[in-house]
Structure 1
Amino acid sequence: MLEETLKWRATFKPEEIRWHEVAHEGVTGKISRANFHDRYGRTVLIMRPGMQTTKCTEDNVRYMVYLLENGILNLADGQEQMSWLIDFTGWSLSTNIPIKTSRDCINVLQNHYPQRLAIAFLYNPPRIFEAFWKAVRYFMDPITSQKVKFVYPKKKESLELMQSYFDIENLPSEFGGKASLEYDHEEFSRSMVEDDVRTAKFWGSVEKSRHVADDHLAQVAPPPAPPPLAITAS
């Protein structure tokens, strides 16, 4: 699995994706990083499938990967996972993500970011979503599938579950909280551009450290032993 992920990263180069390349996918705010964390200090990604407007699988996957990498960049010290909040307001079969795109996104998530998802809340999905979910779930491994929770605003257990993971004062009303969710694409873009600078510095320092380590090893490594003298019979 690790070898496959390293090969994928070397080919796909997720750390080199920049906001200006994927910004057109985020105009509606279909995926964004929240300005709050869950009770465990984890980064929160907000997804709004009802805001889906594009059909290009590659662009959708690249946008999701960009936000995953950005979410990882913004993890608090000691945290390795993030939470997802999925709002189904405005979702319908005409606005849903194509099955192929969903399948490719799931494959990327579980094959290359298997430990990054802590939990995903599907908040108040319409009944018609169940058929779509059955088709998508077919591509999910059991571990990832168990992290997906259906929550409904009128169910007591759902309310208790949300409150156990989030401060209601910070949680947007779309998810049963008291805060407002207002996506400003220009403001979000500025934040992402700033993070792109941090990303470039981080990967630049990693690459520099790798070169320094290689140079250091070259300096301390003993010189190769001379070949043995050839002895011939006189």
Structure 2
Amino acid sequence: MADTPNHTDSSAVSFNSTASQVRPTDTPASSSNTTDAGTAREEDQEWQPPTKGPLKTPITRPTKSSKPISPPKLTTEHETKYATVLASVSQWQTLPATTAKNAPQSPIQDHERMFLTRECLLRYLRATKWVTASALTRLQSTLSWRREYGADTFTADYISPENETGKQVLLGYDNDARPCLYLSPGKQNTKMSDRQIHHLCYMLDRTVDMMPPGQESAALLINFKGAASGNVPTIGQARAVLNILQSHNPERLGKALISQLPWYVTTFFKLISGLIDPVTKEKMKFNEDVRNYVPPEQLWNAYAGDLDFVYEHQSYWPAFAAETDRRRQAYRQRWETSGKRIGEYEAYLRGGDHPSLEQVLGEKGSASSLAADKDTDLAAAGVAKMTV
């Protein structure tokens, strides 16, 4: 793989000063959500589109009618397997620096421990059919891959040139409160490079930033309108993208709504069909009415929605960077405030009403009493508390 690029490339337009001046709408993950008595919180109010001119910045919350799907209740067996994985990752002191065999080890970092939330561990368990050894292997592989790939070093300035035409836009939420990431291959503006794949990795991470409490997955809206045959990815590119999606973002895809496919794109999908996980295939919908999946008021009018949205890079990109930066900062602040625990609840970290792991443990008692109560999930959380 090519060396990690300089992610503060001087050729990129700098948005640092602009982003610092933008104050996006407060979000559920914001620490500034506290309101005076009698004043409704913004996330409790219905989202409204602009009344004067098109929208040019991101949408910060779903419609009130859009609600995340509640996850299925874990069985006793699943709780036990989760407890096993949590207890194991809580002991990690070092991680391989790369995905290469016998790669040198280096200490685990705070942002990597923060990655290991309760829901993250469960996503990897589901993706590996609840085989604990496989889940642990894949978790470690993802963290090593992120180190090797530089995923946590990509900046808005570095990615900015890739998105000047709006070929990837995070805008609004679907009926199940999944953030919608629009992909428009026909707006390709750069030649093939590592940064093109970095762009997708960056946007997927930012899509996660925009998830409301209780949400774990995203909706991809892929429209091939205007895509020339030269803009269709190669098999090698497809493998790289699928590796990011399937291996290192398991259980993150809620829906993939794919439309306006020319014949050569249809042929391409047939060629890579064998590389796509069967569970992923079930989530792919071709040429369906997108209005059935996304509230029309938050669906871009370019995709048959009612939302008047115009992509202007100089307006959207700094507001997008500021909003996602602020959410990440609030997320991390909550994690640090609650004790920097592996196995923390994502709904709490995103600013929801769910208590923190520290609060849950405080209510339930010590790890020994938890074990006596045979509460395997919380007993493992107690192990994490003592070992982190």
TM range (shorter): 0.7 to 0.9
Q: 1:136 to 1:110 in 2, by over 3 A?
A: same
| Matching residue of 1:75 | 211
Q: Is the 8 A contact 1:82 1:117 kept in 2?
A: yes
Of 230, 239, 246 in structure 2, the residue corresponding to residue 103 of structure 1 is 239
Contact 2:291-2:304 within 8 A present in 1 as well: no
**What letter matches 2:159 in structure 1?**
V
Aligned to 2:293: 165
Counterpart Cα distance in 1 of 2:219 and 2:196: 20
Q: Distance in 1 between matches of 2:307 and 2:339?
A: 47
> 1:17 corresponds to which residue?
154
Q: Could you say which residue in structure 2 is the equivalent of 1:226?
A: none
Distance across 2 between alignment mates of 1:133 and 1:91 = 14
Structure 1 unaligned residues grouped into runs of 5+: 152-157, 214-220, 222-234
The structure-2 alpha-carbon separation of the partners of 1:173 and 1:201, relative to structure 1 and needing over 3 Å to count, comes to closer
Superimposed CA distance per residue, residues 213-234 of structure 1 (whole angstroms, 9 cap, x where no aligned partner): 7xxxxxxx9xxxxxxxxxxxxx
Structure 1: how far apart are the matches of 2:190 and 2:254?
27
Residue aligning to 1:126: 262
Map 1:1-234 to 2 at 5 A: 1-34=138-171, 36-151=172-287, 158-159=288-289, 162-195=290-323, 197-198=325-326, 201=329, 205=333
**Range 47-56 or range 71-80, more displaced:** 47-56
Please list the CA deviations of residues 101-122 of structure 1 after superposition, one character each: whole Å capped at 9, or x if unmatched: 2221111110000111101011
2:97 match: none
In 1: Cα distance, 2:158 partner to 2:331 partner: 18
CA RMSD of aligned residues (A): 2.7
Computing the radius of gyration from Cα coordinates, the structure with the larger value is 1
After superposition, the C-alpha distances for 1:60-90 in whole angstroms (9 at most, x for unaligned) are 1111111111110110110011101111211
Q: Is the 8 A contact 2:232 2:265 kept in 1?
A: no
Using a 3 Å threshold, how does the CA distance of structure 1 residues 203 and 166 change in structure 2: closer, same or farther? closer
Equivalent-residue separation in structure 1 for 2:328 and 2:213 (angstroms): 19
* 8 Å Cα contact 2:167-2:186 kept in structure 1: yes
Q: TM-score, normalised by structure 2?
A: 0.48
For residues 199 and 172 of structure 1, the distance between their equivalents in structure 2, rounded to whole angstroms, comes to 23
Q: CA deviation at 1:54?
A: 2.3
Distance 1:53 1:137 in 2: 27
Taking the aligned partners of 1:21 and 1:199, their CA distance within structure 2 comes to 20
- Residue aligned with 1:61, SS: helix
The answer to whether the Cα contact below 8 Å between 2:209 and 2:324 also exists between their aligned partners in 1 is: no
Residues 180 and 88 of structure 1, relative CA distance in 2, 3 Å threshold: farther
| Equivalent position SS for 1:28 | coil
Q: CA deviation at 1:131?
A: 1.0
What one-letter code is carried by the residue in structure 1 that aligns with 2:223?
D
Distance change in 2, residues 1:146/1:27 (3 Å): same
Percent identity over paired residues: 25
Q: Hey, what's the Cα distance between the residues in 1 that align with 2:166 and 2:177?
A: 23
Q: How many residues align?
A: 207
Provide closer, same or farther for how the CA distance between residues 139 and 53 of structure 1 changes in structure 2, counting only shifts above 3 A: farther
Q: Which SS does the other structure have where 2:263 is aligned?
A: coil
Give the Cα–Cα distance (whole angstroms) in 2 for the partners of residues 122 and 62 of structure 1: 22
Which residue matches 1:232? none
Deviation for aligned residue 1:175: 2.4
1:45 counterpart SS class: strand
Distance (whole Å) between structure 2 residues aligned to residue 72 and residue 199 of structure 1? 10
